Structure 1
């Protein structure tokens, strides 16, 4: 893939925003903190912002190199290749999870008589076709869908209070049990999903054209998205209450189904399902792109040759969990606690320290000479 500055910074920021939204609205985030879920989300978002600053710091050391090139340059060819393969596996696994999420949501909401394997097959074929045309198509698609996503979630955020569903007293008392439940809900789960997943964009930053304003625009997009997600998440608490919301399979969908404005807005759940499909599809495509770009970097073979094999792998891996319940338990439990922090926190921080150390040693050597 040619990385000669083919993206506007605004396109990168919009894609990051939609990527963060992705499948986040599918779940109640910070449910363990109950009515203080908003505080848990803000704590997770703040930590995610620090990670994003580290990612941007890594990028600005060598702006022309993506994540895989940086790993091979600074970690050595062998270790760098091994770490690149691990990141490719991580991106592929996250893509497969989004594929399963999309298929399950389709089964639960619209096509309950259509086999799961068929829904997944159609989805992966459509997304693979998008990936085949390169990252440029993904970012243009995000620009086209951005107004739809903003309008849809704004409409939901306005209609819920205007139809009398909002009960702000359900978020009281604030910090009833102190900071303990808030921190337990935020760390590491909230960082791992969704905020820490922005590590993927280390693959895309080099494509930005004249990235002088990259930091400001990306950080602004991240903050606005994090605050919006926190507000939308808290709407679930305001409507359903923390106790009921915690045990709901699709809490925001159930919340939206309660909206009733006769002869004005009907079947708002169809709108929300569309927004979910778009978010999941974008996130799936973004992780898919990250995986095939990595394979191109390692093998020096065009990413297009890896689209079909990777699509087959994603399709197969998406069925590893026999049931949706187990799929959620693995993804929101073991993966977020033990796997994601390695790729989102440990390895990026290690890479940043190695780059800074090598840069310092080089400057010292130059000064001595």
Structure 2
């Protein structure tokens, strides 16, 4: 790991960037229709519960990343296997995010640009910043967060004052009962985006005030959940439940619908810029933790030596994971959610926590 430190404020901004962007550009909780905003709240609460497990796990070895203390808790052999699984998981998620944002960019902005060119340009930019270290990434996030906050606030105000918002579209609340909402929330919105906070277990050792980590991340999850719920309500209010469930990027469609009713035109361009910049930080975090995990797992002195080869693997994975958008969505919503996310976000952390707790109790007994 590099010798670097980030502040709790920088950690909070990284959490917000990581959690919010992907969730608001996609059809978050679409299966719950007009109750999608409720799934955001339930997902946030579930995500906070998961984070409490992750945070307690990190307290066993606060100076080490997840891939290192997995070896200390489960032993060198099993621990290495678990560490490798998480490295692959982070790598795959990073590839998935790149593919998602590249698909959006090619569909709406760079229509004539080859798909692999967009992915390559995004990765090269990420590689450059990652090469400078986590401190530079955190300071860059601070700068862009202020810009994105201003742009997002302006856009949301324009949508609210456009006259297209109809709160009747949010009714009837819980039309199909709590069961449908709970099915969408568990594991759906708990896993994405809130459960993915597990990647920050790789970054906690860098925080210069570790005692503030718990409060900072929970604050980030609360803000993210409320913001996602608000944007989802806004999308349903403007589009209606039927169009909301059918459109690929609801917030983009909402932005396009209010053109001519606001003093600013081409709000969809603002949306695309905001999404790509926010996606940059999400990809950067996934790539960085993959590099740190790989370097610590194989005893490589500097993660920077791995930037090019690991980025190439991520590039290839992002192209090869699906042949078209339908297959890509099916992979993300069905295969990955149930066969990858649930073990990596629920089962393995609980096993690590249980074994670590037993080991801690044994140490206390032997000390007495």
TM range (shorter): over 0.9
Find the aligned partners of 1:156 and 1:246 in 2 and give their Cα distance: 22
Q: Aligned runs of 1:1-369 on 2, under 5 Å?
A: 1-3=1-3, 6-261=5-260, 264-301=263-300, 302-320=302-320, 321-367=322-368
Q: In structure 1, list runs of 5 or more residues that go unmatched.
A: none
Runs of 4+ with >4 A deviation: none
Residue 112 of structure 2: SS of its match in structure 1? coil
Please state how far the C-alpha of 1:101 moved relative to its aligned partner. 1.4
Matched residues, number: 366
Find the aligned partners of 1:121 and 1:210 in 2 and give their Cα distance.
36
Partners of 1:263 and 1:249 in 2: CA distance = 24
Q: Distance in 2 between matches of 1:81 and 1:142?
A: 32
CA displacement at 1:46 relative to structure 2:
0.5
| TM-aligned CA distance change 1:212 to 1:105, over 3 Å | same
Alpha-carbon offset, residue 225 of structure 1: 1.3
Kept after mapping to 2: 8 A contact 1:28/1:236: no
Separation in 2, partners of 1:45, 1:269: 27
Kept in 2: contact 1:3–1:206 (CA 8 A): no
Give the C-alpha shift of residue 262 in structure 1: 6.4
Shift of 1:261: 5.0
Between the aligned partners of 1:263 and 1:287, the Cα distance in structure 2 is 37
Answer whether contact 2:198 2:345 (CA < 8 A) is retained.
yes
Note the aligned Cα RMSD (angstroms): 1.3
Task: Kindly indicate whether the alpha-carbon contact (under 8 Å) linking 1:257 and 1:267 is maintained by their aligned counterparts in 2.
Answer: yes
Indicate if the aligned counterparts of 1:22 and 1:282 stay in contact, CA closer than 8 A: no
Question: How many angstroms does 1:247 deviate by?
Answer: 1.1
How many angstroms apart in 1 are the aligned matches of 2:162 and 2:340?
A: 42
SS at match of 2:59: helix
Shift of 1:218: 1.8
How far apart, in 2, do the equivalents of 1:68 and 1:341 lie? 18
Distance 1:8 1:122 in 2: 30
1:213 CA displacement: 2.0
Deviation of the 1:161 alpha carbon:
1.6
**Maintained 8 Å contact 2:162/2:261:** no
Q: How far off its partner does 1:260 sit?
A: 2.7
TM-score (norm 1): 0.96
CA contact (8 A) 2:47 2:221 kept: no
1-structure distance, mates of 2:70, 2:116: 36
Distance in 2, Cα, partners of 1:97 & 1:358: 36
> In 1, Cα distance between the equivalents of 2:119 and 2:214?
36
Task: Give the TM-score normalised by the residue count of structure 2.
Answer: 0.96
**Which one is further off, 115-124 or 83-92?**
115-124
* Cα deviations by residue, 1:51-87 (Å, 9 ceiling, x for unpaired): 1111111222321111111101111111111111110
Write the distance in 2 (CA, Å) between the matches of 1:11 and 1:88.
Answer: 24
Q: Structure 2 regions of 5+ residues with no counterpart?
A: none
How many Å apart are 1:329 and its aligned residue?
A: 1.6
Partners of 2:325 and 2:283 in 1: CA distance: 18
1:177, distance to aligned residue in structure 2 (A): 1.6
Structure 1 residues 176-232: Cα deviation after superposition (integer angstroms, max 9, x where no partner): 121111011111111111010000000001100022222222211210111001111
Answer yes or no: is the 8 Å Cα contact 2:162–2:262 preserved in 1.
no
